[in-house]
Amino acid sequence: MRLVSKIAGFIPLVLIIISFIFTVLSTTSKQWAYQNFYSEGEVVALDQQIKPLWTIYRSPFWTCGRPADPQPGDHTVLCTRHSLTSFGHRACETLAGTNLPNGQDNPAYGDPRQCQQIHMAASLTVSSSIFSGLALLTTLLFLPLSHLRPTQHTHTSPTSPVQLINIWIIFSLSVSGIMLVLAQFYGVLGLIQSALPNGAYATNISISASSGPWIQGKASVIYASIGWFAAFLATGCMVVVWGVPSFAGVGAGEEREKHGRRHEETRDS
């Protein structure tokens, strides 16, 4: 029974590691959204767009595009990693107030609404990675304390080091998961819903073009989903396996101790 309890104590750690890995993958991956190209300029009907000649990607930190003057038959795709801050070109820039090369033909071009959504997704993914990393680091440093404390001692002082550590890890995981869910939401809005030419595809089923619409990639579908799901699952496991402080239990225990002392004093007198 003790062996099973010790093994169960490591389940939150495994889930925290999984959450951290996929949160970082979702932050660094360029495959949040992709667009397939089926021909070199000529119009192709949607029902004939079967095998793409090349694919470009876009994420809160990456943009991909073709060379300025590609040679016939050259399907090279160039990708650029962008900065989170305004000190360098970010993954979405408007024409107003920037020196964006090639103007609207630049892969990083977007309208103000789209850029706001993409910048929000970028900030949220970075924040989620930071809190996930803090939760993992704290767990690795203080795992012996949290692991050795049995669950039935959850009514110890809420200000004890072990309890404070548990509260901090649970808080970090919760914030990380919530931020990653919001990043996924804003990422889909900015990279899919607000992206050109998705509006045309949504309003005209008979459209013909040399490319398809923007579609969610594995970073926004798989990596981010596993990241926040593992974070929330780890939080629940921590509550069950490692426990959290019960202020009510502590208050009740203190009242019982005071009542016992008064009873002893009355008996002695």
Q: Is the pLDDT of residue 269 over 80?
A: no
Q: Where does the pLDDT of residue 98 fall: very low under 50, low under 70, confident under 90, or very high at 90 and above? A: low
Contact in structure between 214 and 195 (CB atoms under 8 Å): yes
Lowest mean per-residue pLDDT among 15-29, 56-70, 177-191: 56-70
Q: What is the pLDDT of residue 151?
A: 46
Q: Where does the pLDDT of residue 111 fall: very low under 50, low under 70, confident under 90, or very high at 90 and above? A: confident
Q: Which one, of 58, 34, 74, lies nearest residue 66 by Cα?
A: 74
Contact in structure between 53 and 38 (CB atoms under 8 Å): yes
Q: Is the pLDDT of residue 250 over 50?
A: no
3-state secondary structure of 52: coil
Dig out the tokens for 184 from the structure.
């996924």
The secondary structure of residue 102, as a DSSP letter, is T
Condensed to tens digits (0 to 9), the pLDDT of residues 154-166 reads 444 555 677 788 8
Which pairs with CB-CB distance under 8 Å and at least 24 residues apart come from 207-210? 207/46, 208/43, 208/44, 208/45, 208/46, 209/43, 209/44, 209/46, 210/37, 210/38, 210/39, 210/40, 210/41, 210/42, 210/43, 210/44
Strand ranges (E), 119-231: 208-209, 215-216
Q: Which spans in 95-160 are helix H? A: 112-148
State the pTM of this model: 0.78
Mean pLDDT score, 107-121: 86
